[in-house]
Amino acid sequence: MSLDQEVPLDDAPVLLDRQAEVLELIARAAPLPEVLAEILSSLEHLMPGAHCSVLLLDREHRTLHHGAAPSLPQSYVAAIDGMAIGERAGSCGTAASINAAVVAMDVLTDHRWVDFRDIAAAAGVRSCWSTPIEGRDGLPVGTFAVYHQEPHRPTPREQRLVDRFTHLTSVAIDHAGLVADLVESEERFRRSFDDNSLGMAILGPDRTIATSNTALTALCSRELGGARLADVLRPKGRSLDSWLDDLSRNRARTVAFEAHVRRADHPDVEVEVTVSLLRSRDGAPAQYVVNVLDLTERRAVEQERRTVERERRARSEAEAAQRTAEELSHAKSELLAAVGHEARTPIQAIVGFAELLGTMDLGEDRRREALAHIDAAANHVMDLLADVLDLSRLEANALPLALEPVRLRDVVEEALAMLAGAASRREVGLGHDLADEVVRVDRRRLRQVFVNLVTNAIRHGSAGGHVRVCTEPAPREGQPQEPRVLVSVVDDGPGIPADLLPRIFTPFARADPGSPTLDARTEAGPPHGTYDESIGLGLGLAHGLMRAMGGDLTVGESGPSGTSMRLMLPAPISLQDNELRP
C-alpha cells in the first residue's frame, strides 16, 4: 500500500518529516524516553484532540510501566504505573494480556475499566484505544494507547496512523534494547580490560598501541599510547613482526611466545605473550589483541621448587651416604673381627709350637713336625693377610691388573693341580670339560679365582664326590656388546642354605643356625659338606676379582644335588687380542 493510500495527501509531508525526526533520534541512540516522547508528540500532532502514551511490559512480573506520556496528567500516569496485566485491567492491561488491540469507546461503561473508572474520571479520560507493541519474537513488549476526553471510535485514518507509529515504537524499543546490551557488553569489556591483572593492549593495523590497560602500563613503567609494540616487547629468538606476520599470513587464531619487556629505568621483565587478530569484513587485519603475562612470580615459584628439590635430593644423598658409611663401617668392623678370629688359631699354633721348641728337647722327627706346623700356620696367616689386602684394593679400585689373552684350559689345569692334595684328602675327584677358549683376563688373578672356587667346592661338597669345571653356551639375551665365555664350577654337595644365598659373596658370612642344611649335625660337630663354618674371604674376593676384570660371578644353581658357581668371562675383542703370550 502506498503512502497516499494510507493517509490523506496533505498529511504525507508532515508524516514523513515526523518519521525522519524519530529515525534520526534512533540512529543517534538517543534515550528511549526521548524517542518515545517524540513519537507520541508526532502522533498527537497528526490526531488533534488525542492524548497518547506508551507503557513498557515487564514480562517476568507481568506488569506495565511508564514509557512516555507527554500530554497526560502526571497523576494518571503515576496511578497506572506498575499495573498488572489481565483481561479486566483496562484497555492497556487487557491488550498486553491477550496480544490484541482493545478499544473502549466509553471507559465509564466498559466492563474492562471497572477498577480504573475513578482514576480515568479524575484525569478527564473518557475513551481509550490500546494496541500491543510486538517485539522481535511476536509477543508484546508494551502497549500504545490513544485517549480522548469524550467517547470516541477510531477512524480508518487514525487506525493507519496508530499502526504506523506502533511499528515505529517497536523499532525504537528493540533498538534501545540492542543499544543497552551493547553498552552493557562494552562496560563489561571495559571493566575486564581496565581492571584485569593481566597486561592487555589493543593494536591498530599499523601495530601501534591504540589502548592499554593499567596492568600493562605499570609493567612497562611508562605510557604506551601510540608506541609500537616492537619497541615494548623483545621476543626470544624471533622478531615481533615475524610473529605477527605469521598470524596475518597463516590466518591462525592466536600466536604465543615468550619475550622480555623493555623498560627504561628498570630491569627487563620476562613475560608470556598471546596475540589474537581481529579482521575487518573484507578479511584484512583490523586490530591485534595482546595479552601479556608477567612470569616473575612463576619463575620464582619454579626456582623455589627447584631449590626445594635440590635440597631434598641433597638431604637424600647425604642420608644415603651416611647410611652407606655406617654400613661400610659396620662391615669393616665385622670383617676385622672375623679376620682376627680367623687368624687367632694359626697364630696360637705358631706360638704354641714355638714355645714347645724352646722349652723341650725334641727329637729330630718331632722337631721337623713342629716346624712344619709353624710353617703351615704362618703361610695361612700370610694368605689371609694377602686376601684382606686384595679386598681393600678392590674397594679402592686400586688393584693392579695385567689383562691379556689367556687360554682358559691352561689356567684351570694349573689351579686343579695345586689343589690335588686337598682333594685327595677328602677323596674328591677333580676334572674339567673345557673348550679351547681364550679369555682376556689377568692370568694370576683368574687362577686365584679358580683356586678359591674349587677349594670352596672341595670343602663344602660331598666326601668322595666330584668337582668339575666346564664351559657352557653363553646366553644370547640382551646381545652383549663384547663376546663372553661362560664357565661353571660344579660340586655335588648339599647346596647353599637359602638364607645364606643373598650373602654368599660377603666375607666370613655364616648360615643361620636353624638352616635346614645344618640339621644333619652329629654330636661330634658339623659334618663336612655343610655351611656351618664361615665361608671365609674366598668367595667375596673371587667375586670382586671377576668384576674388576670385566666379568661376573654368580650362583648358577644350588640344591640338594649340588651347587654351580657361574663365571662370565670377557673374550678377546680383536684378532690381535687372540695372540697368546708365552
Domains along the sequence of the chain with CATH:
3-189 (3.30.450.40), 196-294 (3.30.450.20), 317-391 (1.10.287.130), 400-578 (3.30.565.10)
DSSP state of 474: P
pLDDT above 80 (res 265): no
pLDDT above 90 (res 141): yes
Which range among 90-104, 173-187, 465-479 has the greatest average pLDDT?
90-104
Please, which pLDDT band fits residue 322 given cuts at 50, 70 and 90?
confident
Average the pLDDT over each of 180-189, 278-287, 448-457, 508-517 and give the range with the smallest value. 508-517
Q: What distance in Å separates the CA atoms of residue 96 and residue 162, rounded to the nearest whole number? A: 16
Which range among 89-98, 365-374, 464-473 has the greatest average pLDDT?
89-98
Backbone phi, psi, residue 26, to 5°? -65, -45
In this structure, which long-range contacts are made by residues 457-460, counting pairs with CB atoms below 8 Å and at least 24 apart in sequence?
457/489, 457/490, 457/491, 457/493, 457/563, 457/565, 458/419, 458/422, 458/423, 458/426, 458/428, 458/491, 459/528, 460/491, 460/493, 460/528, 460/529, 460/530, 460/531, 460/563
Reported as half-sphere exposure (CB side, CA atoms, 13 A), residue 389 has a value of: 7
Q: What percent of the chain has pLDDT over 70?
A: 81
Q: What is the mean pLDDT of residues 192-198?
A: 83
**Length, in residues, of the chain:** 582
Going by C-alpha positions, the residue among 474, 405, 409, 477 that lies closest to residue 441 is 405
Q: What distance in Å separates the CA atoms of residue 351 and residue 306, rounded to the nearest whole number? A: 64
Q: What is the mean pLDDT of residues 237-261?
A: 84
pLDDT above 50 (res 532): no
H/E segment holding residue 382? helix 364-395
- Look at residue 517 in the predicted model and tell me its pLDDT: 42
pLDDT in tens, 50-77: 999 999 999 999 999 999 999 999 999 9
Maximum CA pair distance of the chain?
Answer: 168
Mean residue pLDDT of the chain comes to 81
Q: What is the mean pLDDT of residues 458-480?
A: 79
pLDDT above 90 (res 298): no
Please, which pLDDT band fits residue 342 given cuts at 50, 70 and 90?
low
Q: What is the mean pLDDT of residues 274-284?
A: 85
The position carrying cell 694368605 is 383
pLDDT above 70 (res 269): yes
DSSP string, 139-182: SEEEEEEEEESS-----HHHHHHHHHHHHHHHHHHHHHHHHHHH
Going by C-alpha positions, the residue among 20, 30, 42, 10 that lies closest to residue 166 is 42
Residue scoring higher pLDDT (265 or 569):
569
- Look at residue 516 in the predicted model and tell me its pLDDT: 44
The helix/strand count (H/E) of the chain reads as: 15, 19
Question: Torsion-angle region of residue 427: left (phi > 0), alpha (psi -120 to 50) or beta?
Answer: left
Residue scoring higher pLDDT (90 or 263):
90
pTM, two decimals, is 0.45
- Look at residue 549 in the predicted model and tell me its pLDDT: 87
- Look at residue 519 in the predicted model and tell me its pLDDT: 33
Q: What distance in Å separates the CA atoms of residue 125 and residue 80, rounded to the nearest whole number? A: 13
Going by C-alpha positions, the residue among 269, 271, 275 that lies closest to residue 290 is 275
pLDDT above 50 (res 456): yes
- Look at residue 152 in the predicted model and tell me its pLDDT: 93
pLDDT in tens, 378-435: 766 676 676 666 666 767 677 788 899 999 999 999 888 888 888 888 999 999 998 8
Q: Is the dihedral of CA 484, 489, 495, 499 positive or negative?
A: negative
- Look at residue 96 in the predicted model and tell me its pLDDT: 93
- Look at residue 530 in the predicted model and tell me its pLDDT: 46
Q: What distance in Å separates the CA atoms of residue 176 and residue 29, rounded to the nearest whole number? A: 7
DSSP state of 525: B
Reported as half-sphere exposure (CB side, CA atoms, 13 A), residue 115 has a value of: 14
